[in-house]
Structure 1
Amino acid sequence: MSNQSKIILLSLVLFFSAGCSISQVVNKTLSPPTDTKWVNIEVRNPSQYTKPFPLEVRYISYECKKKRISGFDGSVITEPSYNAISIPMQQENGDIWKGKVAVTGGGSCKWALSAVTLGIQYSDATHLGKDLVPGTEVGVSLAFDNDASRNGQFTFVTGDIDLSPKYYPYIREKKMGGVENSLSLFGKKDFLLLRVGDIRFVRFSPEIDEGKITRFVGLEKKVKGKYPKIIYPDGSIAPEKTLFPDFDKVDKMGVK
């Protein structure tokens, strides 16, 4: 996967793919019953240069289980089936985008909602550099069951959700293997991980401060003892071998 949200959404599916699968056909048709509950999602787009990406939704079925052969001892393992779909967000009232997801997916496999990922990404990056292209996404991943939150990194929350995380621009200048200059956003956490209960509404209202730009400058060629640099908005350089920019440092930074 090329972006972080898809990695988060599909990580469990990929984890369970180890070993050889036993060929089975699973009916992934969704048919929400008339009395299903819905999760209504609202995203406030913070900039003319960003756009909410489609909702990345995963359903789970314990009715239509799949079998695979373990790569360790050859035993047959039975596990749930997964059904990943994408739901486009609809623009309403200017910067407000909305979508909704059925809690009960229904169908012959009795699909149940397991996870939803939502958020924003740059749709146009040239306002901060003519050679820039849009980079990775930011947002929130919601786990609706224990299966989706099994890695233990999810924070449990109750009630409806109203989030307003702050993000800063992050320009990556990659030089080895071909020049690629991308513009992404980074926050305290690029993706919030929340384990939710019986919710009906999610509002995501991110804030962007483009007055503080952090840059990653790659090497033109591999040189022993030389490393890429992360340059902060005030011109200071992160310690060598730093992998990610320090959000708190940027957040507290006064830029002249």
Structure 2
Amino acid sequence: MNATKDKPKRHRTPVVLFTLFFCLSGCSQDYSLAPPADSEKITVTVKLPQELKTETMWVMYRSATCKSISHGASGQRVEQDGRHSVYKEFQRQGQSDLYQVELPKDGGGACKWHLANVTFGVVHVDPAQFGENVTNGGGGGVVVIFDHNNSPRGGADIKVDGDLTIKKDYYPWIKEAFLGGYSKRISLTGEGGIYLKYRALNAQHVYFEPTLHSHFTIYSEQPKQKKEGNYTAFTYPDGTTVADGKWHPNFLRLQTIRTGRAADCFSLRRYANCPDRRPQLLPDWLPEPGKPGFGRYVIADEWGTELPSYSYRLVGADDQVFQDLSEPNGRTKLLPESAHPLRKAEFPKRVW
């Protein structure tokens, strides 16, 4: 008799435990954001040229409290941090060319959300100016990751400490496609792919300044038939056409066409090979220790790297002329303090 009474209890216990487990897994969780009033803010600012506009920003928050549960190929349970997406429009700051979004770093709520990453970018204001039925394509995108996870667009290509400032050149790219249906798009081509991806764990301010060189448009035409040896043809602003099997334009070639500078001059890794280092005199006057009344200047390139053995010609405040080669640390030879501040700094080719 007792065994009969106990039987229903043994069946009832798993049902109660299952119900409890299901609810703890989130069936009644409040997944909404509730940023505390004193949450640290992250500001994203875009400086827009006339021809471009901002796209809607995709903001992702993550939670280690509210897990996302899925199952693998073998039926195993897979837990991941929960994700919550919101979408923000950039707000113009007065009558300026600055557009801004302010985001709470602490998303709050029962799930204890934290800001994980943002995806934003710029597109052309008026695609129709490039022809009938022309639509906006890719390029001009930015992903900034604020935690140690990947973004929906993958991991970061560049890691930065502190605030993030992005200033990049872009060119209009009109591309015609024929395979799989005709389309014509105006994209932006620049350094990197469709998205520039950064990890900035400690950033409070993100600043993006795209410069569009609208008078240097590149055109591409996809082949009408798919067969070996048929490649997309790129016509550059100087009139040359290249069909080398690549899917995107050569950015450094565009930079060279526009500026006349060698491609090495636009890459930090290859900049040392650049024939034109764009020397500049750093403004600080450095008094020479142990030699009162004397000092030096530093000659550096556009990236701030000291230029050793670089020729200079300086005209002092008293019209005295000093010309020589910079030392291994980029410093000039000793100059009398009477030469400071300089009237003129020149960097002639070495002919003396």
Q: CA RMSD in A?
A: 2.4
Q: In structure 2, do the counterparts of structure 1 residues 234 and 116 end up closer, same or farther at CA, with 3 Å as the change threshold?
A: same
Q: Does 1:208 align with 2:208?
A: no
Aligned to 1:91: 92
CA distance in 1 between counterparts of 2:78 and 2:121 reads 35
| Amino acid of the structure 2 residue aligned with 1:234 | D
The amino acid across from 1:141 in the alignment is V
Deviations 1:227-253, CA, capped at 9 Å, x for gaps? 221222222222432111110011101
Identify the residue that residue 104 of structure 2 maps to in structure 1.
102
Q: 2:156, 2:206 → 1: CA distance? A: 20
Cα distance change, pair 224–23 in 1 and its aligned pair in 2 (3 A): farther
1:226 aligns with: 230
Which amino acid counterpart does residue 81 of structure 1 have in structure 2?
Answer: G
Structure 2 counterpart of 1:240: 244
In the alignment, which residue of structure 2 is the partner of 1:158?
161
SS in 1 for 2:110: coil
Across the two proteins, how many residue pairs are aligned to each other?
233
**Which AA in structure 2 matches 1:91?**
R
2:137 is matched with 135
Q: 1:149 to 1:125 in 2, by over 3 A?
A: closer
Match of 2:177 in 1: 174
Contact kept, 8 Å, 1:54 with 1:89, in 2: the verdict is: yes
Instruction: Report if aligned partners of 2:66, 2:81 keep a CA contact under 8 Å in 1.
Output: yes
TM-score scaled by length of structure 2: 0.61
Number of the residue aligned with 2:196: 192
SS at match of 1:77: strand
Distance 1:24 1:175, change over 3 A: farther
Retained in 2: the 8 A contact 1:55–1:116? Answer: yes
Gaps of 5+ in 1: 1-21
Aligned partner of 2:43 among 40, 45, 54: 40
Q: Which residue of 1 aligns with 2:295?
A: none
Aligned to 2:38, what secondary structure does the other structure show? coil
Structure with the higher fraction of residues in strand conformation: 1
- For 2:4, the equivalent position in structure 1 comes to none
Contact 2:231 2:243 in 1 (8 A): no
Alignment deviations for residues 64-101 of structure 1 (CA, whole Å, 9 cap, x no partner): 11221111x32111111111211111122232211111
Greater C-alpha radius of gyration: 2
Write the deviation string for residues 142-180 of structure 1: whole angstroms up to 9, x where unpaired. 111111269554322112222211100111111233321
Unaligned runs of 5+ in 2: 1-24, 260-352
CA 1:222–1:24 in structure 2 vs 1: closer, same or farther (change >3 Å)?
farther
Specify which structure has the higher proportion of helix: 2
Tell me which residue corresponds to 2:71.
69
- Report the CA distance shift for 1:174/1:27 in structure 2 as closer, same or farther (over 3 A): farther
In structure 2, what is the Cα distance between the partners aligned to 1:129 and 1:39?
39
Distance 1:134 1:152 in 2: 25
Judge which range, 118-127 or 145-154, deviates more.
145-154
How far apart in 1 are the matches of 2:164 and 2:141? 13
Q: Which amino acid aligns with 1:42?
A: T
Secondary structure at 2:161's aligned position in 1?
A: coil
Structure 1 counterpart SS, 2:181: coil
